[in-house]
Amino acid sequence: MLGFTVITYVGVKFIGLDLPEWLVIGGTINMLASNALMIAFAGAAAWRRYNWRIAAFALLNPLYWILHSVAAWRAAWQMYFSPHRWEKTPHGLTEEYEDSSVVAE
């Protein structure tokens, strides 16, 4: 969403995209206010459930959202160019864990 807002702003200011000014301002305010509310609600929920030290991490939500976007674009790229590849994350590593990708000699 942030990227779309930036592209729209750049398009209006520099490329000559013809959008009413009230629409650009309203969209920007809406994006900033809704993101601020999501961060505030995440912080309030964490504060109520845990404490303020955990709630402070809600300020990092925009970075988390960007990382989600990068992961989604990477997954879409991999689905198109190598659909049969599967990057599985091993969970529950124990002494009995055997990695099937390692060939024993």
Rounded alpha-carbon distances, angstroms, from residue 44 to 12, 35, 63, 101: 36, 14, 18, 44
Give residue 11's pLDDT: 76
**pLDDT grade for 43, boundaries at 50, 70 and 90:** very high
Round the average pLDDT of the chain to a whole number and report it.
Answer: 81
Lowest model confidence (mean pLDDT) among 10-19, 45-54, 85-94:
85-94
- What proportion of the chain, given as a percentage, has pLDDT over 70? 81
Q: What's the whole-number mean pLDDT along residues 35-54?
A: 90
Hey, how many other C-beta atoms are within 10 angstroms of the C-beta on 80? 8
Query: 67 near 75, Cβ under 8 Å?
Result: no
